[in-house]
Structure 1
Amino acid sequence: MNILGLIVEYNPFHNGHLYHLTKSLEITKATHSVAIMSGNFLQRGEPALFDKYTRAEIAVKNGVDLVIELPTMFACQSAEFFAHGAITTLNSLNCINSICFGSEEGNVDVLYVVSNILVEEPKEFKDSLKNHLDKGMLYPTARSLALFDYIDKYKLLDISKEKLLSLLNSSNNILGLEYIKCLLKLKSNIKPFTISRVSSSYNCENIDSDICSATAIRKSLKDFNDLSLIKDVIPYITYSFLKSKLNSNFLPMFDDKYFDLINSIVLRDCDILNKYFDVNEGIENKIYQNVFTSTSLKDLQLSVKSKRYTLTKIKRTLNNILLGITKDDMNLVKNINNMPYIRVLAFNDKGREILKTIKSNSDINIINKFSNISFNMDDDVFKTLINYDIKASNIYNMVYYQNNKHLLKGPMDYYTTPIYVRNTIK
């Protein structure tokens, strides 16, 4: 068994994801695939369009064999923490042979060289970094120049300064570097692969080919609420699922639906906002002041945004406030080297084979039913991670089920079991 690991959000699963899955299986020669997927809240600090079980089932019906939830505390954070959570999860399974991720660079050897320098931090690199910082440069710029100085001196890569700077500022390259850095730190046997992103860029908002970014698809759904406009850029399986959800009055979720709740939390916790993760350097005062005058969540986000704090950073910060993720709790879990559990969301017959292999190779707790989680609640890391997963689902579902309150039984993590998909077409 040759098992491929994927790190995904599938928000929603589109033609580019199908290409990535197909190509990843091809270049790794994998026989089975596991996707570590963000749950109901995502890395950019926003809710998923549709719930995690729907997205997981769509993924399996499109060819993924097993979908495992990335714990919420990692799923909603910067590239460093997101990657650490995902890679640590895959590594803890003790049976994953490879990972494959999309990148703008497309050459894993280039990313590996850069990642290795950042992990090893050789003295000459650190001296160069300090020298650039002493000139008053911002850290990202200083680090980029220090990397180029070191790479150029030892001829580690044939790369120009401009290309290296571009590489270090591209969204998927940044994630790829963090994946490899984490593999190196864990001394993992998982082998990294990458494939070049095709067609639209990560943040492109235009639909102009049969492969476009998830950003463009989400924007189209938000602006027009019309599936026909995205029908050609998503697999038919995805289209049919989304159509069924809309027909059942489950509407796509966007962060502005939580504006009032965020405002209430900020006003309630105005004196203790700095206990939340990523709320630093007095930004809590700016958030508090602008809550009174902002007319929408976008308005609030833009009013807090600055040269120092990007819009995505602000979105993640507000999301941490929404979910109640504190600095103390993040400090407890952020450096773990073994994930205490996995939450299975969906699987097929090959997925069952993977789960059997995990049980044989790892002592990780496999959660199928939440009624069984009490077995490890005396473990502080386990308890902290799982409680945020439950809390995030509850907050998400209070809005997601607003048109279907009769279906909301309570904390839905306790009422929903993994989805078994039989006879998935590969």
Structure 2
Amino acid sequence: MKTAGVIVEYNPFHNGHLYHLKQTRKVTNADCIVAVMSGYFLQRGEPALVSKWARTKMALLAGVDLVIELPYAFSTQKAEIFANGSISILEGLGVDEVCFGSESGSLDPFIHTVQVMKDYETEFNSYLHIYLKEGNSFPTSASKAFQALSLKDDGVDLSQPNNILGFHYIKAIVDQQAKIIPKTIIRTGANYHDEHFQSPTIASATSIRKALFSSNKSIDDVRSFVPDTTFKELNQYMTDFRQLHHWEAYFQLLKYKVLTSSPEELKAIYEVEEGLEHRFISQIKDATSFNEFMIKVKTKRYTWTRLQRVCTHILTNTTKVSMKRVTSNNATYIRLLGMSQTGRAYLQQNKKEFTLPLISKLKQNSNEMLQLDIKASHTYGMIFDEPVRSDWHQLEYSTPPIQFDEKEKIFV
């Protein structure tokens, strides 16, 4: 059974993701599609719009065969660590190919850029240090450093978000000596960061989320940009929990955490660097919303995304020490969230060959990486009212992998 992997957030699953899935199956001729999907908190430092269980259902209904959780230790990180964790999980599952969307649409520029970085690592790091010292963000500095090498202009444009991820996927494959074969397809329609609808049917997840939280819009306003199955799941989530997740809902929790922590305690949190602890304490006192707070603390050096990740780590009390321990290696387990009949058949046929343990139901576990996922789950559910909040805290232990019958189109 041939397998192809995709690395996703599905926040939420939309028509562009559906196109990516169909193209992945086409270019890889895969029998089984495996999605490594971020859990409750995402790479841009945001809470996921709906739970990982709801997004697992969206994925299975759209044609994914296996949904595997990308642990918090990787899902809330810069591109390099995010990619390392994702590729290590796909490799542990024995997946044949990985297919990612990119602004480039061609694999050669990625391979060339990875080789250049390897051959000129010292020079690249020297330029990178210069641009960082000038106050540029890491993504901007990395792009400028590559351009400063003044080599042949056939590398990939590292100023584009999906190209950055694609570069790190291929670099992770090389560094891990993985057997996975990379493939890429060009992104269609909306750009990753588009905040407004540019097409009648294709929109970025960013613009969809913005519309959902706009005061004069509703779920109905995004219906044309998502599959019917996603639309139904969004409505069901609203019925069950009466809200979608975004940073404003967590702001009072963040404010409480910052104002009841000492500078030394905040400094111990992962990614709190260069006096950010003092800036956070001084600026959050008078801020009345998360957006207002972010505007107050934003600087040229720290991107909005980086600051949101800092806020996420403060909220989940993730320290430098604990994160260093869990990210010194690649993934240490495979957490199964959902499967189709095809996905189940793949597991049964190949699980003895997996190089990482497969977790299908959570038990008390001392694995530190898994403990971060559990803390993230508890934090994510803190915005609910009782008794929903207390029930939520048991979900990690009581929810088995979601099973989907792709022929009957039903969950079993």
Distance 2:21 2:128 in 1: 41
* CA pair 13-107 structure 1, distance change in 2 beyond 3 A: same
Q: SS of the residue aligned with 2:376?
A: helix
Match of 2:403 in 1: 420
* CA pair 274-22 structure 1, distance change in 2 beyond 3 A: same
Match of 2:11 in 1: 11
C-alpha distance after superposition, 1:162-208 (max 9, x if no partner)? xx6xx111111111111111111001110111111111100111123
C-alpha distance after superposition, 1:242-274 (max 9, x if no partner)? 122223343111111111111111122223101
CA contact under 8 A between 2:127 and 2:148: conserved in structure 1? no
Match of 2:268 in 1: 275
Match of 2:293 in 1: 300
Q: Percent identity?
A: 36
* CA pair 238-358 structure 1, distance change in 2 beyond 3 A: same
CA contact under 8 A between 2:158 and 2:164: conserved in structure 1? yes
Distance 1:131 1:262 in 2: 36
| 1:38 and 2:11 aligned | no
Equivalent residues, number: 403
Distance 2:10 2:130 in 1: 42
Deviates more, 1:107-116 or 1:12-21: 107-116
| 1:238 and 2:238 aligned | no
Q: SS of the residue aligned with 1:168?
A: coil
| 1:325 and 2:318 aligned | yes
Match of 2:211 in 1: 220
Match of 1:190 in 2: 180
CA contact under 8 A between 1:34 and 1:64: conserved in structure 2? yes
Deviates more, 1:128-137 or 1:265-274: 128-137
Match of 1:387 in 2: 371
Cα deviation, residue 145, structure 1:
5.3
1:402 alignment partner AA: D
Match of 2:249 in 1: 257
Q: Gapped runs of 5+ residues in structure 1?
A: 378-382
Match of 1:380 in 2: none
Cα deviation, residue 103, structure 1:
0.8
* CA pair 318-133 structure 1, distance change in 2 beyond 3 A: closer
CA contact under 8 A between 2:381 and 2:393: conserved in structure 1? no
* CA pair 117-128 structure 1, distance change in 2 beyond 3 A: closer
* CA pair 128-405 structure 1, distance change in 2 beyond 3 A: closer
| 1:266 and 2:258 aligned | yes
Distance 1:258 1:134 in 2: 36
Cα deviation, residue 129, structure 1:
5.7
TM-score of the superposed pair, with normalisation by structure 1: 0.89
Distance 1:146 1:248 in 2: 49
TM-score of the superposed pair, with normalisation by structure 2: 0.91
Match of 1:206 in 2: 196
2:396 alignment partner AA: D
Distance 1:70 1:131 in 2: 32
Distance 1:68 1:142 in 2: 33
1:37 alignment partner AA: M
CA contact under 8 A between 1:347 and 1:418: conserved in structure 2? yes
CA contact under 8 A between 1:32 and 1:354: conserved in structure 2? yes
Match of 1:175 in 2: 165
CA contact under 8 A between 2:142 and 2:158: conserved in structure 1? no
CA contact under 8 A between 1:250 and 1:404: conserved in structure 2? no
**CA RMSD in angstroms, aligned pairs only:** 2.3
| 1:107 and 2:97 aligned | no
2:266 alignment partner AA: L
